[in-house]
């Protein structure tokens, strides 16, 4: 992980528990998609089955997310956003299409519910590639 905050597995798990994938499918994709249960689409050769991936997938549980962040030392500040050693719990997420932005905007709101400040930055594809290759910020994409 490039960003210090993600070196702690509890933070990564907390993020996973804070994301309501079913809500994204229902409201953003208008029910015209399936909830992701792995890294590859189920029809792709070599994709793991839902049953095989189940032990690795986090259920949507805001209380579990908050608990994990607290265990990791991230405490809510006056604004409700968490902090540790005077540093905010925040990250940048780069996207480069309108669809990607529509998908991750609810994720941003969901993470705020547990005190994680996710900043979305929409870039053109070339700028996205340059920014993520630079390695100075959180690298993420929705492809």
Query: How does pLDDT run across 27-78, given as a tens digit for each residue?
Result: 888 888 887 777 777 778 888 888 888 888 889 999 999 999 999 999 999 8
For 18, half-sphere exposure in the C-beta direction (CA atoms, 13 angstrom radius) is: 25
pTM: 0.79
Residues 79-127: tens digit of each pLDDT = 999 999 999 999 988 888 888 899 899 999 999 999 999 999 888 778 7
Is pLDDT of 136 > 70? no
Per-residue b/e over 81-113, b at no fewer than 16 CB within 10 Å?
A: bbbbeeebbbbbbbbbeeebbebbebbeebbee
């Amino acid at each position: 992980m490039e960003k210090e905050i993600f070196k702690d597995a509890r933070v990564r798990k907390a993020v996973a528990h804070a994301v309501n994938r079913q809500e994204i499918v229902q409201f953003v994709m208008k029910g015209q998609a399936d909830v992701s249960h792995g890294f590859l689409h189920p029809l792709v050769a070599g994709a793991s089955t839902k049953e095989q991936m189940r032990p690795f997938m986090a259920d949507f549980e805001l209380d579990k997310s908050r608990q994990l962040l607290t265990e990791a030392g991230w405490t809510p500040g006056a604004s409700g956003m968490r902090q540790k050693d005077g540093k905010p719990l925040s990250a940048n997420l780069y996207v480069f299409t309108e669809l990607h932005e529509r998908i991750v905007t609810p994720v941003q709101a969901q993470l705020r519910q547990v005190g994680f400040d996710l900043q979305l930055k929409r870039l053109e594809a070339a700028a996205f590639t340059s920014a993520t290759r630079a390695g100075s910020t959180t690298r993420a994409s929705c492809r």
